[in-house]
Chain A
């Protein structure tokens, strides 16, 4: 039996998971999904910023479009810190395509239009 705190939303449910990956203590189905993922292949959404050439901003905030395997987080940061983008940029524009062949893109999270 493992005890976890769900990080899916701010409610922070206290989850219990048995050896067969049965989850209790979750308020919603996302909690069960989180617990199973956490005990098999933990993932995290990564957010950071990249440099941008722009008249109005120094940094462009970005995120992984889907959660990345936890062990890739620091390696992904190295790639993110190599990037420089040019305005204009819209939310969802791809900053790094398919990072480490995960099928997951790093995308812009802010409109920087000039």
Chain B
């Protein structure tokens, strides 16, 4: 069996930035395993701009953003394998993969960073009543066909779900000559960024139907012909008489992303509400030396955040490889409370932690005029006033670790109404 210091599974933006960070810290024996025949992952098909404002202080398209990383990976001579399918990761960190050049290979890794991204919820996941015709795509599939292969999947399109990819595709398909009849969102608020509502929908007079969903798909002859849209009440029940019919030849689904944790789902490690693994301050799972970051840990709004989180994992892997992660001493359990949906990380070994503790979290539903509170037990450590906050915008709070005095084992993150 081959031995390696660090194996990174997934060569997208998280995997490449983890590799580059580990390399710059002094880890030289690195191998990236990538299933596609190119690095960069999903950014290859995200041809729109808006990437990199945090990372590079300039606005880049997805391919431009990822090329900066892939060039650096090549310049530093970091090894990677393309067209490579990782089959298994074992508890003792044996990574099994196959590709057409090497066949079946097993590597004993000292440390692993899992950066396998996320996948789209599809029509099976939301179980729309009606026929099961062709012409129903996830927004990312339609994006792949259009931006990589130059194929428009429909001329009269409806989009279910207001996730950012759906909004981006509403604009993209309109520019290519399709008529986008509308975007429907089950919730009373959009799942996408405000800027995308403006520049992808309002710019093109595409209506956004909040509190609406598709009640029926009609396509008895094998291809989609019609959808029936209906309004829902506060409990998501259809409101009778609210139905609107749209003749369509394609329905796009932008109804959520799910961390792609297949490779670690059978290791017996705990998972959190994000559907990613429970991790420490260094993005380390319960298996020491197995790290995970990016969208496989929790789905991010911005690739810039994915990149910085991958660097945290890389720092963890570097420390682990140099026996500098003690996994000992005072351990905080980090938990969401009132109004907060999840917090990453879920555990903090305060003695191992960097000088700044980084908390990433989302609220459970929109709030106005509230404080976000981070407390150690009952002791409030930080209050942040927010005039408005929505679940689709992830909050990142960095706090000096000296603010925490190890008197309690719990850190809470919650929403506090202002009186």
Contacts and interface: CB of A to CB of B under 8 A. Distances in A.
B238 to A, nearest CB: 31
* Residues of B in contact with A, size category: 20 to 34
B61 A109 contact: yes
B264 to A, nearest CB: 29
Interface string B58-72: 010101100100000
B61 A77 contact: no
Interface string A54-81: 0001110101000000100110010000
A63 B61 CA distance: 8
A82 B53 CA distance: 31
Contacts of B395: none
A10 B302 contact: yes
A10 B390 CA distance: 13
B67 A91 contact: yes
A110 interface: yes
B147 A59 contact: yes
B48 interface: yes
B241 interface: no
Contacts of A45: 49, 59
B195 A49 contact: no
Interface residues of A, number: 29
A65 to B, nearest CB: 11
A7 B175 contact: no
A44 interface: yes
B150 A10 contact: no
Nearest to B194: A12
Interface in B363-400: 388, 393
A48 B150 contact: no
Given A91-B67, A109-B61, A5 B198 contact: yes
B301 A48 contact: no
B67 A58 contact: no
B203 interface: yes
Contacts of A47: 47-49, 61
Interface of A: 4-10, 12, 14, 44-49, 51, 57-59, 61, 63, 70, 73-74, 77, 91, 109-111
16 contacts: A6-B195, A8-B195, A9-B53, A12-B195, A47-B61, A49-B47, A49-B146, A57-B148, A59-B147, A61-B63, A70-B203, A74-B175, A91-B64, A109-B47, A109-B61, A111-B67
